[in-house]
Amino acid sequence: MSHGIDLRAVPYDHPDAIRLNDQVQLEYQERYDGEGDATHLDPAMFLPPYGLYLVAYDTSGSPLATGGWRAQDENDEGYSDGDAELKRMYVIPRARGLGLARRILAELEADARAAGRTRMVLETGDKQPEAIALYLSEGYTPTEKFGYYRDYASSRCMAKSLT
């Protein structure tokens, strides 16, 4: 499984986080006909206690996966008070199937719960069936649409109570 994997909290603009973010954007472009994720993300959004950004490293120090959460409250994009939004969940191709996404997800959920957030929400797309399957298996259910892509037919929004 994921022995020897080190999960580290890093700033969203850490070089390893940027490198993996560039990779996930390329994957989105492949899956969604040239479209990356245009959601504006500021590094300050992931600073504790209003967020957390994690990078998983192997024993040689190579970054394998990322994920973060940021606090959201009720606004005109459809969020609710107490939401924690999952962002940039990504595992590089060679490290898939090791349980890294589940491990990062569990850590992010625990951190958001400890920070007083009541619901974890995420937005993914219909061309990411692996992501949808992961979230369903971890207790997420489809929810009303929110966020930057709320008006897109391909958008899939999910939520899980943290209380």
| CB contact at 8 A, 134 and 99 | no
The percent of residues above 70 in pLDDT, for the chain, comes to 99
Instruction: Read off the pTM.
Output: 0.95
Q: Domain coordinates of the chain in residue numbers?
A: 6-161
Query: First and final CA of the chain: distance in angstroms?
Result: 29
Q: What is the CATH number that goes with domain 6-161?
A: 3.40.630.30
For residue 157, is pLDDT > 70?
yes
For residue 103, is pLDDT > 70?
yes
